[in-house]
Amino acid sequence: EDKVVQSPLSLVVHEGDTVTLNCSYEVTNFRSLLWYKQEKKAPTFLFMLTSSGIEKKSGRLSSILDKKELFSILNITATQTGDSAVYLCAVVKLNTDKLIFGTGTRLQVFP
Amino acid sequence: DAGVIQSPRHEVTEMGQEVTLRCKPISGHNSLFWYRQTMMRGLELLIYFNNNVPIDDSGMPEDRFSAKMPNASFSTLKIQPSEPRDSAVYFCASSLSAPGGELFFGEGSRLTVL
Q: Which residues contact A25 (CB under 8 A, 6 or more apart)?
A: A2, A3, A4, A5, A33, A70, A71, A72, A89, A91, A100
Do B43 and A31 lie within an 8 Å CB cutoff? no
> Which residues in A have their CB inside 8 Å of a CB on B?
31-32, 34, 41-45, 48, 50, 88, 90, 92, 96-104
Do B100 and A50 lie within an 8 Å CB cutoff? yes
Which pLDDT tens digit goes with each residue over A45-77?
A: 999 999 888 899 999 999 999 999 999 999 999
- For A32, which of B91, B97, B100 is closest by C-beta distance? B100
Give the closest residue to B35 by CA, choosing from B104, B89, B83: B89
The distance of Cα A34 from the centroid of its chain, to the nearest Å, equals 7
Please answer whether residues A65 and A49 qualify as being in contact, where contact means their C-beta atoms are separated by less than 8 angstroms.
yes
Measured CA to CA, the distance from residue B46 to residue B88 in angstroms comes to 13
Strand runs labelled E in B8-108: 10-13, 19-24, 31-38, 42-50, 53-56, 65-71, 74-79, 88-95, 104-105
Which pLDDT tens digit goes with each residue over B52-102?
A: 999 989 889 889 999 999 999 999 999 999 999 999 999 999 998 665 568
Indicate if the alpha-carbon torsion angle B1, B30, B58, B74 is positive or negative: positive
Distances (CA, A) of A90 to A43, A102, B17: 11, 6, 33
State the count of interchain CB pairs (< 8 A) between A and B.
66
pLDDT in tens, chain A (111 residues): 889 999 999 999 999 999 999 999 999 889 899 999 999 889 999 999 998 888 999 999 999 999 999 999 999 999 999 999 999 999 988 877 778 899 899 999 999
Measured CA to CA, the distance from residue B40 to residue B28 in angstroms comes to 34
Do A98 and B41 lie within an 8 Å CB cutoff? no
- For B56, which of A44, A90, A98 is closest by C-beta distance? A98
Contacts of B101 in chain A (CB under 8 A): 31-32, 34, 48, 92, 97-99
Measured CA to CA, the distance from residue B69 to residue B104 in angstroms comes to 17
- Is the CB of residue B102 less than 8 Å away from at least one CB of chain A? yes
Please answer whether residues B28 and B51 qualify as being in contact, where contact means their C-beta atoms are separated by less than 8 angstroms.
no
Distance from CA of A16 to the nearest CA of B (A): 28
- For B31, which of A42, A48, A97 is closest by C-beta distance? A97
* Per-residue model confidence (pLDDT) at position B40: 85
